[in-house]
Amino acid sequence: MQLCNAVHSTFTVGRSEHRMARNQQAYLRLELENAYESISANCWPNSYRGPDSFTEQDIVEIAGIRRHLDYREIVDIHKANIVPPVGGASLVSIPGSITPIPEDLRQLIMITNSIQTEPLRNFIYDAFSCRDFASRFVSLPASHRYHHAFEGGLLKHSLECVEIVASCPTLSATARELGTIAALFHDAGKTITMQANKKAPIGYMVDHDSLTLAALNHSLSLLDSSWTDAAIALRHIWTCRSQKSWGFKAKMPLVHIVQMADRISSELDSENQAFELVEPWRSHAKHPNSEQRYWRLLPYRNDGAIGGFQRACHD
């Protein structure tokens, strides 16, 4: 039995190969991937319009028919175009396999689509139009020791910060969307200072916070031309004085909200790392890679059992 349905989306080319069918008809086989799926696709000369060949990492927009055969799925491409990674394609075309948590990549797309202010939405699109930045942002850890220290941790941490900022009940719609951008990219400098398993050479000499503006320079320049005040506000949020650095004193409450979101996400993940290594009844734990110790409130019990804090005192 064969079922068919239309396909129209943007993908990244993983492999391109000229083949010969059993009837001696030449065709082009493509292995394609985006944030949602990986597909095998055929370009048949009698029904296909588009380039004769592709190279790895090309971004291609396709239209075709998906055929569900008894033992496999294939897409017959009717039309294809090599396109730049701009607009929505900058995110959709990111291969889900380059991040260990593909659901986070899809959440990033949902967050971007929810932004109503066009210059801010375009800011995200432009940032991820740089393929090197995109692959680093969705695959790197947020740190190597202390929090979100796993592949894809930078994206996970950034999304958590976005959620925390968005949950602030008194923010205006404009401030909430600006805060989304600020929280999402607050660690963008780590795409310069971090590598998968160690710091990049520059990471030993320059703090990642000092490189946020450099990592987002092109996107900020575009925002300068479409909404200057928003570009200034983002620069202020990312560079003003925090608890650990010098700079201008914050002139926007959103600065403190974004910085607090960063600390909350980091501390919660560090706490989770500590308690993953101990029995569930323990209320005290030490972080595996630092001297930080944590205490947690265990669930209430009405059977008279001594709680974790009391047990520690008795011991």
Convert the pLDDT of each residue in 265-291 to its tens digit. 988 888 888 788 888 888 888 887 777
Indicate if 153 and 199 belong to the same structural domain: yes
What value does the mean pLDDT take over residues 114-132?
97
CATH of the domain at 23: 2.40.50.140
Do 171 and 35 reside in the same domain of the chain? no
With 90 as the cut, is the pLDDT of residue 49 above it?
yes
* Same structural domain, 126 and 14: no
Least confident of 117-126, 148-157, 214-223: 148-157
Q: Which residue has the higher pLDDT, 200 or 86?
A: 86
Residue after which a domain boundary falls, among 30, 47, 82: 82
Count of domains for the chain? 3
CA gap 282, 125 in Å, rounded: 45
**136 shares its domain with 44:** no
Does one domain contain both 285 and 224? no
Q: How many CB atoms lie within 10 A of CB 114?
A: 11
Residues 55 and 102 in one domain: no
Burial 180-204 (b: 16+ CB within 10 A, else e): bbbbbbbbbbbbbbbeeeeeeeebe
What is the arithmetic mean of pLDDT over 94-108? 95
CATH number at residue 175: 1.10.3210
Q: Which of 65, 82, 99 is the last residue of a domain?
A: 82
Residue 245's pLDDT is: 54
Question: What range defines the domain where residue 303 resides?
Answer: 277-314
Last-in-domain residue among 33, 55, 82: 82
**pLDDT tens across 11-45, in order?**
999 999 999 988 889 999 999 999 999 999 999 99
131 & 245 share domain: yes
What is the rounded CA–CA span in Å between residue 80 and residue 51?
7
Mean pLDDT of 167-182: 96
CA distance linking residue 278 with residue 254, whole number of Å: 37
Concatenating the DSSP letter of every residue in 15-46 gives EEEEEE-TTS-EEEEEEEE-SS-EEEEEE-TT
DSSP-H helix ranges across the chain: 89-92, 102-114, 118-129, 131-139, 153-166, 173-184, 190-193, 212-215, 217-226, 228-239, 253-276, 308-314
Task: Please compute the mean of the pLDDT values over residues 161-188 and round it to a whole number.
Answer: 96
Statement to judge: residues 249 and 208 lie in one domain: yes
Confidence of residue 1 (pLDDT cuts 50, 70, 90): very low
Same domain, 286 and 268: no
The mean predicted confidence, pLDDT, of the chain is 89
Q: Are residues 110 and 250 in the same domain?
A: yes
Question: Percentages helix, strand, coil for the chain, rounded to the nearest 5?
Answer: 45, 20, 35
Q: What is the pLDDT of residue 292?
A: 83
- Considering the entire predicted model, what is its pTM? 0.88
Q: Which residues, 6+ apart, have CB-to-CB distance to 49 below 8 Å?
A: 78, 79, 80
Residue 237 and residue 165 share a domain: yes
Q: Are residues 290 and 264 in the same domain?
A: no
Tell me, what's the pLDDT at 306?
A: 56
